[in-house]
């Protein structure tokens, strides 16, 4: 069994399917974790969410929430978020894509999004969208703070908003794998931290990291 952590998908369904093919992903034996920001910016948000929803029911897909999922749910709860439909943030693509699915299917996906955790972890790894909030007085992060620590701007939970140099290793020595900040190639940021977001919606490069054999994988195509 192999476990892959994929960077920010942002509705890039064709790139995602190409990545699964390249890594010879086994839907029976392997698992795939999305490091947040599955929605917004891309043309196939609704179709991608339905693909991953089915994957979660079949046991091969595991989600982690990003700042885009948090913003979408706050908007759905009636909060005024003018930035959400800004072209750079790309929220209009999600709203349009979900509307094409119809009320019943879009509500089912929205309810599922509300179950996404801020962190996935096992005995050796932690997956978080942005980074782990710092233990007070230290340069180490703590996954237990992800659900409660709000960013200084007040816009998001800190764990979905952090960027280098504030992406920290975990206090317990587990490897942290995160997205959110675009890097040219998926890589080790520092000892104990790996970055996997290669900006698929902008660059056409989608990347993933295999937890078991510690290898990086990527595909390149045309973003949509």
* pLDDT tens digits, 171-203: 999 999 999 999 999 999 999 999 999 999 999
> How large is the angle between the packed helices 91-101 and 103-113, nearest 10 degrees?
130
pLDDT of residue 155: 79
Residues 6+ away with beta carbon under 8 Å from 80: none
Assess whether the previous peptide bond of 165 is cis (omega < 30° from 0): yes
pLDDT band for position 153 (cuts 50, 70, 90):
confident
Q: What is the mean pLDDT of the chain?
A: 97
Q: Cβ(202)–Cβ(190) under 8 Å?
A: no
CB-neighbour burial class of residue 25 (10 A; exposed 0-12, middle 13-18, buried 19+): middle
**C-alpha 191 chain-centroid distance:** 21
Convert the pLDDT of each residue in 50-98 to its tens digit: 999 999 999 999 999 999 999 999 999 999 999 999 999 999 999 999 9
Q: How far apart are CA 80 and CA 12, in angstroms?
A: 27
How confident is the model over 109-118, as a mean pLDDT?
98
φ/ψ region of 137 (left if φ > 0, alpha if ψ in -120 to 50, else beta) reads left
Query: What is the C-alpha to C-alpha distance for residues 160 and 50, in angstroms, rounded to an integer?
Result: 23
Confidence bin at 216 (pLDDT 50/70/90): very high
- Structural domains present in the chain: 3-220 (3.60.21.10)
Give the mean model confidence (pLDDT) for residues 2-12: 98
Query: Would you state the pLDDT for residue 174?
Result: 98
pLDDT at 183: 98
């Amino acid at each position: 069994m192999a476990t892959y952590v994929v960077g920010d998908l942002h509705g890039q369904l064709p790139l995602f399917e190409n990545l699964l093919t390249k890594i010879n992903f086994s839907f029976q034996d392997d698992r795939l974790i999305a490091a947040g920001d599955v929605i917004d910016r891309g043309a196939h948000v609704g179709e991608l969410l339905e693909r991953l929803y089915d994957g979660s029911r079949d046991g091969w897909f595991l989600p982690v929430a990003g700042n885009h999922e948090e913003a979408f749910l706050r908007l759905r709860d009636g909060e005024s978020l003018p930035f959400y439909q800004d072209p750079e943030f790309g929220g209009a693509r999600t709203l349009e894509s979900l509307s094409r699915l119809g009320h019943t299917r879009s509500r089912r996906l929205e309810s599922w999004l509300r179950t996404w955790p801020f962190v996935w972890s096992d005995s050796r790894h932690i997956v978080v969208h942005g980074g782990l909030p710092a233990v007070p007085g230290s340069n180490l992060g703590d996954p237990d703070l992800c659900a409660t620590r709000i960013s200084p701007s007040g816009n998001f939970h800190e764990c979905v908003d952090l960027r280098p140099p504030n992406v920290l290793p975990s206090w317990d020595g587990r490897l942290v794998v995160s997205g959110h900040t675009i890097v040219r190639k998926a890589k080790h940021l520092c000892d104990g931290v790996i970055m996997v977001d290669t900006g698929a919606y902008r660059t056409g490069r989608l990347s993933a990291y295999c937890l078991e054999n510690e290898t990086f994988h990527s595909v390149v195509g045309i973003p949509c």
